[in-house]
């Protein structure tokens, strides 16, 4: 079983749509959680950290459920510029990050 | 935010040659840097952890004699792919951990290696 599993995607949505990505992790000792965004042929960039209480940054909302070992990302009012691959990332305490395989989002006009 | 640079951004080489990739933290010191590899349509896979002043820690299945890592200073780590083969063609990305922000890692822009 992979340490971090994500929806396979791709997600094709119209502009303005709300889209949700899910992620599960296997290591219950995982300490911190993130969503990264990766554009084609570019390095990953931190989108937001994920906290147990849930957190929001503009149109983006992240949730963490430690009991279920589940992380989610909600994007409201999708923009064309949101098209990218979204990576669920977990820090298991080894200091290196463990990446999910990513979910590709394509927002269409 | 913190900046990490990589050089070169892309390289094409012949099979059997060695290629050195540099990773630098530009405005912070990083005792730990990480080297990842990403094949097309796959996620980033950790290759090794580079520790300043000591030997790198390699992930299972990564040959330490093939992927030489040197972390000679708090701002520079190098990855040398020795005797490169076509199957080593990949996107190599480094990241550096900011001591001031425990769980934040900053990624370099990546190096695209193509071995002919």
Assess contact for A36 and A73: CB atoms under 8 A: no
Task: Give A50-63 pLDDT, tens digit per residue.
Answer: 988 889 999 999 99
Nearest chain A residue to B95 by CA: give it: A96
Contact indicator for A56, A75 with CB cutoff of 8 Å? no
Is A101 in contact with B43 (Cβ distance < 8 A)? Answer: yes
A2 touches chain B (CB under 8 A): no
| Helix H or strand E segment including B78 | strand B76-81
Which residue in the set B43, B93, B112 is minimally distant from A102, CB to CB?
B43
Is the pLDDT at A13 greater than 90, yes or no?
yes
Q: Is the pLDDT of residue B115 over 80?
A: yes
CA separation for the pair A69, A100 (Å, rounded): 14
Rounded CA separation A11/A77 (Å): 15
pLDDT 10s digits, A96-109: 788 998 999 999 99
Q: Please give the Cα distance from B116 to B88 (Å, whole number).
A: 10
Q: What is the pLDDT of residue B103?
A: 60
The alpha carbons of chain B give a radius of gyration, in whole angstroms, of: 13
**Cross-chain Cβ contact A87/B43 below 8 Å:** yes
């Amino acid at each position: 079983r992979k340490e971090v599993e994500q929806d396979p995607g791709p997600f094709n949505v119209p502009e303005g749509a709300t889209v949700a990505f899910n992620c599960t992790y296997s290591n219950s000792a995982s300490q911190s959680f993130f969503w990264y965004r990766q554009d084609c042929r570019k390095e990953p960039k931190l989108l937001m950290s994920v906290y147990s209480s849930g957190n929001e940054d503009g149109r983006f909302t992240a949730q963490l459920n430690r009991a279920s070992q589940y992380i989610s990302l909600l994007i409201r009012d999708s923009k064309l510029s949101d098209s990218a691959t979204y990576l669920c990332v977990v820090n298991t305490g080894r200091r290196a990050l463990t990446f999910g395989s990513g979910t590709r989002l394509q927002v269409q006009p | 935010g913190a900046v990490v640079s990589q050089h070169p951004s892309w390289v094409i080489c012949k099979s059997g040659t060695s290629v050195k990739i540099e990773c630098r933290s530009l405005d912070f010191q990083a005792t730990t840097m990480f080297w990842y590899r990403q094949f097309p349509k796959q996620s980033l896979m950790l290759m090794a952890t580079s520790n300043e002043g000591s030997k790198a820690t390699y992930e299972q299945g990564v040959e330490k004699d093939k992927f030489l890592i040197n972390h000679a200073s708090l701002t520079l780590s190098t990855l040398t792919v020795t005797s490169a083969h076509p199957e080593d063609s990949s996107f190599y990305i480094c990241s550096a951990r900011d001591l001031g922000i425990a769980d934040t890692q900053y990624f370099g822009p990546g190096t695209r290696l193509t071995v002919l």
